[in-house]
Amino acid sequence: MKRLLSLLLVGILGGATALLIQKYIISEPQKEAEVVTISDTMPSSFTVSDTTPTTPQVTYTSNHLAAATNIDFTAAAESTVNAVVHVKNVTTYRRPRNYMDYIRNGGVLEKAITGAGSGVIITEDGYIVTNNHVIKGASEIKVTLNSNRTYNAKVIGTEPTADIALLKIEHEGEIFDYVPFGNSNNTKIGEWVLAVGNPFNLTSTVTAGIISAKARDLTEGDSNIQSFIQTDAAINPGNSGGALVNTKGELIGINTAITSQTGSYIGYAFAVPSNNAKKIIQDILEYGDVQKGILGISGGTLKEAAARELDLDLSQGVYVSRVSAGSGAEQAGIKEGDVITNIDGVKINKFEDLAAYINTKRPNDVLNVTIHRKHKQLTVPVELSLYQVYTIEDVGVEITNATPEELSKFGTNYGVKITRALTKSMQGYGLEGIIITEIDKKKVNSISDVKSIIQNKDERDDIVVTFLDKSGEKKHFIFN
């Protein structure tokens, strides 16, 4: 009986205790969730226990993010806008006044502005870099500054492959605002940039964005010769040839291309890296044309499937499929099957990375090339060879000097080799490696012969090109 009473008393006390807990603890309104602030000095991650009754509201504070939101673009814009010019392409053409003028190839000369874009003054004495497509075919070039002053400009040199042209303002002793070059190799994805130019003939327009990607290739097929900086800054027709600058006001790119569904800004834009443009300009001023250095290898970006098949413990790099005889690569001991992963401390993840770096160098420069071979890593010095090319714009092909071995394959002892087709209409013919033996029925033995014939032609005359196809048969094509 006493034991029963004891158990009853314990039950009553337990129930009373439970009621008190419910009243004063569980039923009491809960406090607001605690706000946890994680500073840069705290660990980058933490774990909230599953038993935590409420989910903390986490606020991240970062000095980097705070700095990004407080960036002032005004200084970079003010230092750039007066050095970006409006470039107008003026073409002179002859229109017959009557039928007899047409028969006699006569007529009156007329001028028309057929194109416009932007340009960047890069020296205080008025040198300007722009896109080749902005001034192509111009008989006269007009340059208008932000101050509305207009000058005549002359073409100093062009590099159609990279779409770069160098102009010079004609003036007497005037000092111009200019944009200093920055180091495009040091740019980072996510970095803020400004695009300055003249879209839709709206002068002195500045837009902002970030670098979306680097070493972007836009070529079709396996050419892998372009390496653009990609940005989401608004760039439209008329921005071509304008400046892409960092927040310091330094030139890191020349705005060149747009990818979108409409041709206007709904997508991304692409700029030639400033290091590439600077090297081209220096070559034009020093040598009269662009000095291209090559490693002397053929290959492409390493693919995952190929890496597995070749038993490589790599997922990135440039796979070497062929080494040119007598090249710097061959002399350095690079072999077929090697994978290039680094040059001069610069990571080479894909072929575009290699092309971007090589395009900033000259023949005879020595590069430290890191390769992987059979699970071993080697670093070898490679001297770049001179790669001479010439663009026959009216034909739409790029040529280089042919080796005796290449000529013998086609049964000839003279001619030049087509390295690649430049236009969509020519790309379908498979011309890479084909030999050109004559232009306008004149034999050609070298690039110099081709240059001389093309430069001394009347622009109104057709170009007759003689090819040797792979069977050695001659074929003639007329281009107008």
The set of catalytic residues is: 133, 163, 240
Using the Cα atoms of residue 293, residue 241, residue 78 and residue 174 in order, give the sign of their dihedral. Answer: positive
Is the distance from CB of 383 to CB of 366 less than 8 angstroms?
A: yes
Residues 6+ apart with CB under 8 A from 232: 209, 210, 212, 268, 269
Three-state DSSP at 315 gives coil
Burial label for 473, CB within 10 Å (0-12, 13-18, 19+), is exposed
Phi-psi region of 154 (alpha: psi -120 to 50; beta: other; left: phi over 0): beta
Tokens encoding 358: 């090589």
Helix (H) or strand (E) holding 117: strand 108-121
- E-strand spans in 186-266? 192-197, 205-216, 228-231, 243-245, 251-260
Cα–Cα dist 149/147, whole Å: 6
**Residue 311, CA distances (Å) to 36, 316, 322, 334 in order:** 49, 13, 19, 19
Residue 44, phi then psi, degrees to nearest 5? -75, -10
**Do residues 316 and 299 touch, judged by C-beta distance below 8 A?**
no
What is the distance in angstroms between the CA of the first residue and the CA of the last residue of the chain? 122
Quote the CA–CA distance of 234 and 230 in Å, as a whole number.
11
SS3 425: helix
Tell me how far apart the alpha carbons of residues 193 and 122 are, in angstroms, rounded to a whole number.
18
* β-strand pairing of 318-323 with 297-301: antiparallel
Exposure b/e, 415-443, CB count within 10 A at least 16 = b: bbbbbbbbeeebbeeebeebbbbbbeeee
CA distance 455 to 304: 47
